[in-house]
Every structure is written in C-alpha cells, then in structure tokens.
Amino acid sequence: MTWAPQRGQIIVTEKVAPFLDYPVVTIRQTDEGSVMIGDSVEEAGWDTTVGAGVVSAEAERAVRMFPHLARLNVVRTWAALRVMTPDGFPIYEQSGSSPGAFVATCHSGVTLAAVHALVVAPAIARGELPAEQYGAFSPRRFDVPAIA
C-alpha cells in the first residue's frame, strides 16, 4: 500500500462580478468574486514549490474556457500537498485512545465541503461517528491480510 503526497497548485484572481453560476472541475468562483483556478496533480514528494510551468498551463486552460479571465490580475498562487489514501477516498475516524479526538481527511475539502459542514461536523459535535454511516471510511479498510 502506498501513501504518498501529491502537490496541487492554485491560482487566485482579483474579485470580479459573478459569472460562474455552475460548478466546473478546474475553476471556481467564490461568493466574494475571486476566481480559483487549479487542477494539478503532481508526484513531487514533499516539495511545495510553486512551479511557473504548471501555473501557466492552468491559466492557459482557464483562459481558453473563459477568455475574459485573461484581463484579470492574479492575486496569489500557492502549492500544497495532499496526502492521498491508496483508494482516494476520505478517512473519518474517532480516536480509540483519546476520546473526543477525530480525524477527517480527504483529497478535496472543497468538493466535500457540504458533507463536512452538514453531516460530518454535526456527528463529531455529538461525539460520535456511527459505524453504519462511517465504517466504510475508516482507515481499517486498508488492513487486508496478506493472504487475501
């Protein structure tokens, strides 16, 4: 089983009037008007360096989709690591040794934000992650006997 970090890079533009009323995998507009551009996945080890080549490719694709983005100023860029599970799915778990401590980790906090805010957070606030709902997301799913 391989657990490895993947680097992702994001571009954030200045705020503009709303134009993106539907979800797009590589581009999102915040309620405040900033545009977030990014869809990179790099096997870069623990390196969090922003790479001009990747950011340029992301920007070029975004402008092909929405030409008016070419007129916007870039406010910031960043790179961050996502430690991916082997199956790419989240882990939700309550600590067996530290009551009240929970783990909630996933690839895309943006994509799963509604589930985290409306389902997972209330369960954690109640102090439980019921196995019937969350058991499939336990890290124990990776404990497969070698002879299986």
Tell me the per-residue pLDDT of 84-96, one tens digit each, with 9 for 90 and over: 788 888 999 999 8
Q: Using a cut of 0.85, tell me whether the model's pTM lies above it.
A: no
Give the Cβ contact number of residue 44 at 10 Å. 19
Query: Bigger pLDDT: 1 or 76?
Result: 76
Look at residue 147 in the predicted model and tell me its pLDDT. 46
The DSSP-derived string for 101-130 is -EEEE-S-TTTTHHHIIIIIHHHHHTT---
Tell me the per-residue pLDDT of 23-45, one tens digit each, with 9 for 90 and over: 788 898 888 999 999 888 888 88
Architecture of the 4-84 domain: 2-Layer Sandwich (3.30)
pLDDT band at 71 (very low <50, low <70, confident <90, very high): very high
Q: What are phi and psi of 147, to 5 degrees?
A: -90, 0
Q: What is the mean pLDDT of residues 73-90?
A: 87
Tell me the per-residue pLDDT of 45-63, one tens digit each, with 9 for 90 and over: 888 889 889 999 999 999 9
Q: Where are the domains of the chain?
A: 4-84, 91-142
Residue 2 has pLDDT above 70, yes or no: no
Tell me the per-residue pLDDT of 117-145, one tens digit each, with 9 for 90 and over: 889 999 999 999 988 989 899 988 887 76
| Both structure tokens of 15 | 């705020």
